[in-house]
Copies of this chain bind each other. A is one copy, B any other.
């Protein structure tokens, strides 16, 4: 019944406050895993798990050089989410436009145009 949507993974990933904090931090610039972990009161292993999930979702990309794994935000990873919200709003606006058109017709006394 419920189709899989790419936006599903984004919503699930960002419904977790710690992962949202990581994404917020990375929107200010790339950071190493330990830099990301510092302000978070959870184990480094837990941070790594969160980053892995964000990576699978396409929100974050990581690169390991030597012993340091650097994480950066993939702005295109936010697209599915932004599109979903924009689509809901577009639908609502279209309805308001149709409603306004119907009210105009009503005023002009042309009920036969009503759909």
Which positions in A face B, CB cutoff 8 Å? 1-2, 5, 7-8, 11-12, 14-15, 17-18, 20-21, 23-24, 27-29, 39-41, 73, 75, 78, 81-82, 84-89, 91-92, 95
Q: Across the two chains, which residue of chain B brings its CB closest to A19?
A: B11
Given contacts A2-B17, A23-B88, A27-B89, could you give 16 more A-B pairs where the C-beta distance is less than 8 Å? A5-B17, A5-B20, A7-B20, A8-B20, A11-B11, A11-B14, A12-B15, A20-B84, A27-B87, A27-B88, A29-B95, A78-B85, A78-B89, A81-B81, A82-B85, A82-B86
| Copy total for this chain | 2
- Distance between A45 CB and nearest chain B CB, rounded to angstroms: 17
- Distance between A75 CB and nearest chain B CB, rounded to angstroms: 5
B27 and A91 within 8 A (CB): yes
A85 to B85, CA, bound (A): 10
A114 to B39, CA, bound (A): 28
Q: Given the complex, which residues of B lie within 8 Å of A88, measured CB to CB?
A: 23-24, 27, 73, 75, 78
The 5 A-B residue pairs with the shortest CB-CB distance in the complex, in nearest-first order: A15-B15, A27-B91, A11-B15, A27-B88, A2-B17
